[in-house]
């Protein structure tokens, strides 16, 4: 514990979004997409947002500039990289190390770090950030979140239906709630 007493509305807040994790969870669980505006509003509430970063992986043949532009207009900083296709046909594309490095680097300037991901690989990061005096909140879909990540967090918040909007192309294939 660092000994600093911070009221909720004076908390310096950093939000780090694992876009791929959230995209596939929203699609698989709710046939929906996340409303990143509502998500940001819900997380920030009355706290002081210092930085919001969305980490995206782009397929080389898919133009996601509209999505990136929309996130920028909402106040997110975008970090993106292309999906790497391996010679054996498999693909690699995640931001786990980038998210870890960025949160560790900015942690001394924040009171609370919000990790928007359900990926259990982040448990050691959460534990390390908490050991250095940061509150670590996890926001994700409960059904696709590692139990260990929920337990490691200072606070867990499940993404609710109000933070989603239905994507017609997901629903038309016969998928339902």
Give the C-alpha separation, 26 to 20, whole Å: 10
Percent of the chain with pLDDT over 90: 72
Q: Tell me, yes or no, if the pTM score tops 0.75.
A: yes
Give the C-alpha separation, 33 to 11, whole Å: 28
Give the C-alpha separation, 129 to 26, whole Å: 27
DSSP state of 85: E
Q: Return the CATH class of domain 9-84+93-171.
A: alpha beta
Give the C-alpha separation, 54 to 105, whole Å: 16
Q: What's the pLDDT tens digit per position in 30-50? A: 999 999 999 999 999 999 999
Q: What's the pLDDT tens digit per position in 63-119? A: 889 999 999 999 999 999 988 877 887 777 889 999 999 999 999 999 999 999 999
Q: Are 141 and 158 a contacting pair, CB within 8 Å? A: yes
pLDDT confidence bin for 170, thresholds 50/70/90 = very low
Give the C-alpha separation, 145 to 149, whole Å: 7
56 by DSSP, 3-state: which? strand
What is the reported pLDDT for 86? 77
């Amino acid at each position: 514990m660092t000994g600093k007493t911070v009221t909720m509305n004076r908390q310096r807040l950093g939000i780090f979004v694992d876009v791929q994790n959230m995209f596939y969870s929203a699609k698989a669980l709710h046939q929906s997409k996340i409303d990143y505006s509502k998500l940001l509003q819900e997380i920030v509430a009355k706290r002081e947002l210092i930085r919001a970063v969305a980490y995206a992986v782009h397929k080389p043949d898919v133009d996601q500039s509209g999505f990136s532009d929309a996130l920028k207009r909402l106040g997110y900083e975008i970090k993106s990289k292309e999906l790497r296709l391996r010679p054996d046909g498999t693909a690699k594309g995640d931001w786990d190390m980038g998210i870890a490095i960025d949160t560790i680097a900015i942690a001394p300037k924040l009171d609370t770090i919000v990790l928007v991901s359900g990926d259990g690989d982040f448990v050691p990061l959460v534990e390390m950030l908490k050991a250095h005096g940061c509150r670590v909140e996890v926001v994700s879909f409960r059904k696709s979140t590692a139990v260990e990540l929920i337990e490691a967090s200072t606070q867990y918040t499940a993404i609710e239906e109000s933070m989603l909007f239905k994507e017609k192309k997901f629903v038309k294939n016969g998928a339902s709630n």
